Amino acid sequence: MRDCTFGHVFVFFKIAPMAAVASASPISSAPWWQRALPHVLAVLFFVALACLYFSPIVFEGKSLAQHDITQFQGGAHEAQEYAKAMGREALWTNSMFSGMPTYLISLHFPGDWSGYLQTIMTLGLPAVVANLFLALLCGYILLVALGVRPLIAVAGAVALGFSSYNLAILAAGHNTKSIALAYAPLVLGGVLVAYRRDKWLGAALFAVGLTLNVRANHLQITYYLLLLVAIFGVMELVAAYRAGRLPEFFKRTALLGLGAALAVGVSFGRLYTTLEYSKYSNRGRTELKTPALGQAPATAAGDESTGVDRDYAFQYSYGVGETITLLIPNFYGGASAMPLGTDSNLAKAGLPQEYLAGMPTYWGQQSYTAGPVYMGAVVCFLFILGLFVVDKRTRYWLLAGTILSILLAWGKNFETFNYLIFDLLPGYNKFRAVSMALVIAQLAMPILGAWRSAACCAPAPRRSPWLPPTRSCTQPWPKR
CA distance 37 to 41: 6
CA angle 267, 268, 271 (to 5 degrees): 85
**Helix/strand number for the chain, H first, E second:** 20, 2
What is the pTM (predicted TM-score) of this model?
A: 0.84
Strands 100-101 and 92-93, sheet pairing: antiparallel
Which residues are within 8 A (CB) of 272 and not within 5 positions of it... i.e. 6 or more apart? Answer: none
Q: Which of 241-250, 373-382, 446-455 has the lowest mean pLDDT?
A: 446-455
- For 322-345, letters b (16+ CB in 10 Å) and e give bbebbeebebbbbbbebebeeeee
CA distance 268 to 260: 12
Q: Which of 135-144, 385-394, 413-422 has the lowest mean pLDDT?
A: 385-394
What DSSP line would sit under 255-319, residue for residue? Answer: HHHHHHHHHHHHTHHHHHHHHHHHTTSTTS---SPPPPTTPPPP-SGGGS--SS-HHHHTSS---
**Res. 112 pLDDT band, cuts 50 70 90:** confident
**Res. 238 pLDDT band, cuts 50 70 90:** very high
What average pLDDT does range 320-348 have in this prediction?
A: 87
**Res. 9 pLDDT band, cuts 50 70 90:** very low
* Helix or strand holding residue 230 (H, E): helix 219-243
